[in-house]
Structure 1
Amino acid sequence: MHPRLIAPGALAAASVLLAIPASAASVSPGAPGIGDPYYPAYGNGGYDVSHYDLRLKYQPATDALEGTATILARTTQDLSRFDLDFLLDVDEVRVNGARAAFAASGEHELEITPRTPLAQGTAVTVVVRYHGIPSSKQAYGFTSWHRTPDGGVGANEPEAAWWWFPGNDHPRDKATFDVSVQVPDGTQALSNGTLQSTVSRLGWTRYSWRSDKPQATYLATLAVGRFDLTTGTTESGIPVVNAYSKDLGAQAGAARASIERTGEIADWLSGYFGPYPFNALGGYVPNTTTGYALETQTRPYYSPRQFANGSNTSVVVHELAHQWYGDLVSVAGWKDIWINEGFARYAQWLWSEHEGEGTAQELADYAYASRPADDPFWTVRPGDPGPENQFHIAVYDRGALALQALRNEIGDDAFFTVLKGWPQRYAHGNATVADFRGYAEEVSGASLGTLFDTWLFQPSKPTASAARTVSLVPAEAAPARPRSWQRIAATNGVHEH
């Protein structure tokens, strides 16, 4: 038997291996996407964020943004590396106080490698210092940062955060927010939630906003410019802050006539959906060239174009309905978009009924009859429309038709119990279309598989016999167009980006 010679280097390596915990073998990078098939690169794996603290400085004249983001999270696996979704230029990253290596990759990924691996279940504080010109950045050929004559705005769906703060950009990872923004005197900075303080010093003013309820990253917003602000309180006691760019021109009056009814509309919606779920309310209309509106949490964004033809309370109803359906309860995956848009459109139908301009049933009858069976509209499946059709009109109108079908199937008592109970069942969380069906069956005691399949998942127009079960109009009659139809149709591009 010959003696075995072991080199000193090999002995040292063996000692190191023996010193490494067994769990180290499981250490791996977090996934660069959260697992949404519609947007595989959106969000990230390996951790869950609880809070964002964003301390920013913005110069409207040059669109220059400087920021320090402090992100509180907890790991959900043993992590050697993790990603944030971000586009601006990074100066430094620290993880639990220690400098971390970082690199940009892909269209919008910031890869961070901490000095030592992070064990599963570890509380993590990530600090990212950064700067850049948001309007100079694009991903996938577009931008979600909108330059205005007096500043800039971050607002878009399903992505907006990358242009002004790093984060885990998917609705599945909600968090609370503190957003503090320093801007030149005479300029205002708006964000979500309640205004905590306004401090001026040496020609600059810092506005500090807080959202103390979980919020999806795409629902966070930043708007800097010169605004006229109005404040008030709803009958239910919620403070309201509205803002209008000072240079809206011809749209200014119609915008105010619409947005100033925010408190009234929110109180009205609470009769259908339950108490308003947040501690702040409002809306803002910056001088942007976009055409869409967005349900940014507590303070929806509205394009001036929404008011080009006069006042538009219907779009306000739509975005405020999202505060319950979309914000309080968010999609588990983007394929569940019907839970957002079908319900916001149905709220517009209920508002039409409230205003005496056509009942929800009359709008359903007209929506069904106005499109022939060979219209491509019917090939879109609202329950899983695909990323290319996520904001297709069928998700809105056919989605609302599905709700009228449900209402007629289970009766008003059960239907409105579902509408009000659902936001409470999944408050501050996420849910799927299947979850909603299950809840509706639980409340009503009915088997609803065929109804949901017919109206949400079949790529064809439901048959006349199926439609007659949800209609008050005889099959041979052509339903009259409700007075509100044109006004509601004017909001069809509400989320077209």
Structure 2
Amino acid sequence: MTNRLILAAAAILACGGLLGAATPVSSTAPGAMGSAGVGDPYLPLAGNGGLHVRHYALTLSYQPKTAHLDGSAVLSAVAIQDLAGFDLDLLGLDVHRVTVDAQPVSWSRNGQELQITLGRTVAKGATFEIAVDYGGKPQPVTDADGSPDGWIALPGEQGAFVAGEPQGAMTWFPCNGHPSDKSSYDITVTVPAGYTAVSNGVLRSQRTVDGRSTFGWHESAPMAAYLATASVGRFDVRQYWTPGGLPVYTAVDPAEVADAGPVLDQLPDVIAWASATFGPYPFDAAGAIVAHAKSIGYSLEAQTRPVYDEAPDVDTLVHETAHQWFGDSVTVTQWKDIWLNEGFATYAEWLWGAAHGGQSTHQRLAALYALPATDPLWANPAGDPGGLAHLFGEPSYARGAMTLQELREAVGDSAFFTILKRWTAEHRHGHATTADFEALSANVSNKNLDALFATWLYGPGKPAKM
């Protein structure tokens, strides 16, 4: 995520492929309710125990004039314990019907939890299919730092800005809404003719019938729920292929085309540079969604297709593109490790700038270190920023990037860039922790780096020396 205010759990299961027909297995042993959340210290109710969602099939219909959303969600899941029931994250929308393997089941609502009782036990390891029909006017979540996330209806019938970090996915579909659960997706959205609905992955179908246009999107790679989008607008659309054969789909609000065009034209070069620096691009599509919504105040690295609140500058484009490796492909296991996303994407900005006539990465480090001890940069440690209100604070970004520059200077360029490429390769489409990164860095460099990480990631206040 790029926040303009700033810029001025191990994984439940390895994500499998798309399920075929559900194969429920009943157990004679009594099952238990899955826990309401995975217990993340920052968002304890996010996600759900007892199941892993392998695939989401979302069929949506949105009317910008009334801001009304109708949805049908089919979740292909596997039980990770003997399971008598479970929760899904869903906030605010009305639920009309819930079935499991095509059979109606009992359900209730408790805050953000859609509580589902199976009436039988599904054995650990068995697959099953959950279908939820729902609708209403989605309302975004206001996070502890005051920013909105989720499904955000734009004024004047512009459409919707859909960006779900860290907890907004539950405002528009029932989900296992923690980054430790990743899934493949099919997202089909119907909107009035003249609007375009843009989601993740590859556009597989598009048709207009009787004044309604339907767009079918498929994301085959595992994706955390917060990275899903289904943004709607009267976009200027451009489709092309990079020299390497990667399909690119950009959708830009007409009011932003003049400013966004020259920047988005650089996307193929940014992807090629990042691929050479961090390893192969991890997905089968790329692009961008640019809204005309400056009041939102941030952009988000939606998988394969970042969402920008206005025309991005080059630094922002580099930042959100770098997240495709750091955050989208290699995903945090708990939110406290957010520096693995934001510090790395910020450091990518530094690397790009240094390679294109700007300050060196050491000069960036020195300039930030020169800030006084009272500066917000030193307010919280990057490795555990202290809660949801500080998740996207400056330490997660700039101090995270400073940690990487300190690491680079300690181990040398050869080891440092080997670490980055091995990180993205070894955890491709998976999850990782700060401890994993520390161990990899020590292994590649053959150095004891405990003091470096203790100082730059966890030390209180400004380090005594650079």
What TM-score, normalized by structure 1, do the two folds share? Answer: 0.84
> What amino acid does structure 1 have at the position aligned with 2:288?
G
Superposed displacement of residue 374, structure 1: 3.8
The equivalent of 1:277 in structure 2 is 282
Superposed displacement of residue 171, structure 1: 0.7
Superposed displacement of residue 235, structure 1: 2.3
- 1:410-458 Cα shifts (integer Å, max 9, x gaps): 0000000111110111111111000000011111111111111011100
- 1:31-74 Cα shifts (integer Å, max 9, x gaps): 11112111101111000010000111111211111111000010
The equivalent of 1:146 in structure 2 is 152
The equivalent of 2:270 in structure 1 is 265
The equivalent of 2:70 in structure 1 is 66
Superposed displacement of residue 354, structure 1: 1.4
Partners of 2:227 and 2:135 in 1: how far apart?
22
The equivalent of 2:305 in structure 1 is 299
**Equivalent pair of 1:238/1:279 in contact (CA under 8 Å):** yes
Bigger shift: residues 280-289 or 137-146? 137-146
Superposed displacement of residue 21, structure 1: 7.1
The equivalent of 1:386 in structure 2 is 386
1:450 aligns with 2:451: yes
Superposed displacement of residue 137, structure 1: 7.9
Q: Specify which of 58, 61, 81 is matched with residue 57 of structure 1.
A: 61
**Equivalent pair of 1:161/1:167 in contact (CA under 8 Å):** yes
> What amino acid does structure 1 have at the position aligned with 2:41?
P
Partners of 2:401 and 2:135 in 1: how far apart?
43
Superposed displacement of residue 120, structure 1: 1.5
What TM-score, normalized by structure 2, do the two folds share? Answer: 0.90
- 1:119-157 Cα shifts (integer Å, max 9, x gaps): 221201000011111148879895522212321122131
- 1:276-320 Cα shifts (integer Å, max 9, x gaps): 11010001111223110100000001111xx4xxx6100000000
- 1:99-127 Cα shifts (integer Å, max 9, x gaps): 01111102x11111123222221201000
**Equivalent pair of 2:203/2:216 in contact (CA under 8 Å):** yes
Bigger shift: residues 411-420 or 159-168? 159-168
The equivalent of 2:211 in structure 1 is 203
1:359 aligns with 2:360: yes
Q: Specify which of 97, 103, 124 is matched with residue 102 of structure 2.
A: 97
SS at match of 1:352: helix
Partners of 1:241 and 1:460 in 2: how far apart?
43
Question: Is the radius of gyration larger for structure 1 or structure 2?
Answer: 1
**Equivalent pair of 2:246/2:284 in contact (CA under 8 Å):** yes
Partners of 1:254 and 1:136 in 2: how far apart?
28
Partners of 1:262 and 1:222 in 2: how far apart?
21
Per the alignment, do residues 431 and 143 of structure 1 end up closer, same or farther by CA in structure 2, a change over 3 Å counting?
closer
The equivalent of 2:125 in structure 1 is 121
Per the alignment, do residues 138 and 445 of structure 1 end up closer, same or farther by CA in structure 2, a change over 3 Å counting?
closer
Partners of 1:443 and 1:261 in 2: how far apart?
33
SS at match of 2:122: coil
SS at match of 1:144: strand
**Equivalent pair of 2:141/2:150 in contact (CA under 8 Å):** no
Partners of 2:326 and 2:288 in 1: how far apart?
17
* Structure 1 residues without counterparts, runs of 5 or longer: 1-19, 468-497
SS at match of 1:295: coil
The equivalent of 1:482 in structure 2 is none
Per the alignment, do residues 252 and 167 of structure 1 end up closer, same or farther by CA in structure 2, a change over 3 Å counting?
same
Superposed displacement of residue 376, structure 1: 4.6
Bigger shift: residues 356-365 or 137-146? 137-146
Decide which structure has greater strand share. 2
Superposed displacement of residue 379, structure 1: 3.6
> What amino acid does structure 2 have at the position aligned with 1:239?
P
Partners of 1:313 and 1:139 in 2: how far apart?
27
**Equivalent pair of 2:64/2:153 in contact (CA under 8 Å):** no
* Structure 2 residues without counterparts, runs of 5 or longer: 1-25
Indicate the structure whose relative CO is greater, using CA pairs within 8 Å and at least 6 residues apart: 2
> What amino acid does structure 1 have at the position aligned with 2:448?
S
Cα RMSD, aligned residues only: 1.7
**Equivalent pair of 2:236/2:257 in contact (CA under 8 Å):** no
1:84 aligns with 2:88: yes
- 1:176-215 Cα shifts (integer Å, max 9, x gaps): 0000111111111100000001122222121000000000
**Equivalent pair of 1:379/1:458 in contact (CA under 8 Å):** no
1:377 aligns with 2:377: yes
The equivalent of 2:23 in structure 1 is none
**Equivalent pair of 2:169/2:177 in contact (CA under 8 Å):** yes
The equivalent of 2:199 in structure 1 is 191
**Equivalent pair of 1:80/1:113 in contact (CA under 8 Å):** yes
Partners of 1:285 and 1:356 in 2: how far apart?
27
Superposed displacement of residue 357, structure 1: 1.4
SS at match of 2:200: coil
**Equivalent pair of 1:262/1:316 in contact (CA under 8 Å):** yes
**Equivalent pair of 1:322/1:344 in contact (CA under 8 Å):** yes
The equivalent of 2:45 in structure 1 is 41
Q: Specify which of 245, 258, 263 is matched with residue 253 of structure 2.
A: 245
1:418 aligns with 2:419: yes
Per the alignment, do residues 334 and 137 of structure 1 end up closer, same or farther by CA in structure 2, a change over 3 Å counting?
closer
Question: Percentage identity across aligned positions?
Answer: 43
Partners of 2:113 and 2:225 in 1: how far apart?
15
**Equivalent pair of 1:154/1:163 in contact (CA under 8 Å):** no
1:229 aligns with 2:237: yes
Superposed displacement of residue 22, structure 1: 6.4
- 1:465-489 Cα shifts (integer Å, max 9, x gaps): xx1xxxxxxxxxxxxxxxxxxxxxx
SS at match of 2:175: coil
Partners of 1:53 and 1:363 in 2: how far apart?
44
Aligned length: 434
Partners of 2:136 and 2:410 in 1: how far apart?
54
SS at match of 1:117: strand
**Equivalent pair of 2:140/2:150 in contact (CA under 8 Å):** no
SS at match of 2:173: coil
The equivalent of 2:409 in structure 1 is 408
Partners of 2:48 and 2:441 in 1: how far apart?
32
1:254 aligns with 2:234: no
SS at match of 2:121: coil
Superposed displacement of residue 375, structure 1: 3.4
> What amino acid does structure 1 have at the position aligned with 2:65?
A
**Equivalent pair of 1:94/1:127 in contact (CA under 8 Å):** yes
Per the alignment, do residues 215 and 21 of structure 1 end up closer, same or farther by CA in structure 2, a change over 3 Å counting?
closer
